Chain A
Amino acid sequence: MSRLFAPAPTPRLLAAYLVIGLVGSVILIYLLHRGLGPRGRRWLIAVVTFVAGLFYGLEFYYPVHNRKNFLTDWIEPVSVMIAVIGAFTVGLGIYSLCQVHGRNVARRRPGWPNSLAFFVAFLAMLVFGLWSHYTPVGEPAPKVLPWQNGVYEVLFNGLFAPLQTATFSLLAFYIASAAYRAFRMRTAEAALMMIAAFIVMLGQVPVGAWITSGIPLTSPWAFFRLETLGEWILNWLNMPAQRGIVFGIAVGALAMSLRVWLSLERGTFFSEQR
């Protein structure tokens, strides 16, 4: 088996193997497409899903002899292959983005200049990102960078990063206005949540510790210092509740994985043919 996967001895043979591999797999896919009817296709998908799940799961549960079983040596090569296959899906998101903005520009829809700005930004980052990647400056960085690295730094640290940080920092304003206009203790549940929130909020910041710094650390009342009370709520009320939620999520994820692994989603929404 490993002889089959040995590297090709010479570049010319490599080219031959690549062509054979490529043409061979295209033919195989074509035969599968022609040969299989809808039932056959659904069967093949279910078998592929089952085998992939069995491979990863069985290696953990199968009895071992000095930390190895017959699958252990295959985990690493298969994982590397599937990881790299996953890398090729990067185009999916970008394809739909380019489709949407391409249509806006082509049909001069309102706001098409913004779609043009999307393409300019996309190509600028792509070109200067790769260009500066292949002209590394090494260490320590010289005072004046090559101009393409300079442009990349301005694009990345001057536009890309600050735009994202600024967008998410808007949330502080929304929380402040919601704090005044919308956070109401109308139900007992909301009141209990707010009181716990106040204690934890004050317990986390220096002014909270300052407010109850009057209570000496040694006295039995030290438990009610805001930072101690906050830590106690986080470690002994919040923690068990979160563990209960974690167990709920664990069992839910186990059920979901089993249903996906055995293709039991037949009845639900998944079976709709798009």
Chain B
Amino acid sequence: MNPQLWILSAGAIATVLRGLTAALRDPQLWILWAGAIATLGVYTILYRENPVSRFFEHIFVGLSAGYLLVATWAFNLEGRWWDPMIHERRWYWIFAPVVGFLFYFIYSRRLSWLARLVMGLFFGAGAGTFFREFFPLYSPQLYASFKPLRPDAQVGWAAVILHNWLFVIVLLTVLSYFFFALPHEGRAGRNLGRAALLGRWFMMIAFGAMFGNTVMARISLFIGRMRFLLKDWLGSFIPWLAHRGM
């Protein structure tokens, strides 16, 4: 190993140690260092599946289960069940845990029908809620599709064609793709088949937009992590990095 390499690596190790000792004194830096170690631990999976990444995976699943319990009690069960039942003495709240615990009978073979009974209650409530949502959610989608196909005072022919005509054609051809009970044979059937094919082509453009956006989303997750490693973590003890204006 040539001498320059020695000096370079010794310098790097010294910098990291200086940062680590500073971190031990300030809890805020604990968070930074733990975050950096966790991130680098997960990134070892890029090389290949290894014990470090699997260890961090199990830590994450444990923290997630723990926080779910804390959040369910602290923000829900205490204020919305325990206080009304005990402090406001509304006795009927005792039925909530009783019905709630029926779910756990899914694990016993003889009593599992009781779990399906309370699931039936929730599926029924979910179906009823969807019946209530249907028009408030979808009727605006229907009447927003009533676009005029001829120009008027504000809108010229070019805009009408490029917007309203195209809208109606794309909407109807995409809808035609999802008709399954009508055969694609016979004169009318073949036209339906051609409309469905055109609908599938228009959907490819929509999937192209989703593809482009998904690439943008995934990449910004990584850029966000790299910015944390460079600006927040290394930047906390390497001033040159902190002022890069990231």
Q: Which residues on A are within 8 Å of B, measured CB to CB? A: 5, 7-9, 11, 14, 17-18, 21-22, 25-26, 29, 32-33, 38, 41, 44-46, 48-57, 59-61, 80-95, 97, 101, 111, 113-115, 117-126, 129-130, 133, 145, 150, 153-175, 179, 189, 192-201, 204-205, 232-234, 236-248, 250, 253-254, 257-258, 260-261, 263, 274
In the assembled complex, the Cα of A45 lies from the Cα of B103 at a distance in Å of 14
Q: Identify which of B54, B90, B209 contacts A5 (C-beta below 8 A).
A: B90
- A-B CB pair tally, cutoff 8 Å: 396
Question: Which residues of chain A come closer than 8 Å to B172, judged between CB atoms?
Answer: 244
**Residue of A with least CB distance to B116:** A45
Residue-by-residue, is B67-111 near A (CB-CB < 8 Å gives 1, otherwise 0)?
Answer: 111101110110011000110111111111111111110110001
In the assembled complex, the Cα of A198 lies from the Cα of B94 at a distance in Å of 58
Question: Which residues of chain A come closer than 8 Å to B210, judged between CB atoms?
Answer: 238
Would A119 and B124 be within 8 Å (CB), given that A153-B31, A233-B209, A240-B171 are in contact? no
**Residue of A with least CB distance to B226:** A169
Q: Is the CB of A119 within 8 A of B175?
A: no
**Residue of A with least CB distance to B200:** A189
Q: Is the CB of A82 within 8 A of B90?
A: no
Which 7 interchain pairs have the tightest Cβ spacing? A88-B100, A196-B208, A56-B128, A125-B66, A121-B62, A244-B174, A52-B124
Question: Which residues of chain B come closer than 8 Å to A194, judged between CB atoms?
Answer: 208, 211
Question: Which residues of chain B come closer than 8 Å to A123, judged between CB atoms?
Answer: 66
Q: Is the CB of A126 within 8 A of B31?
A: no
Minimal beta-carbon separation of A190 from chain B (angstroms)? 8
**Residue of A with least CB distance to B39:** A166
Question: Which residues of chain A come closer than 8 Å to B6, judged between CB atoms?
Answer: none
Minimal beta-carbon separation of A226 from chain B (angstroms)? 12
Minimal beta-carbon separation of A128 from chain B (angstroms)? 9
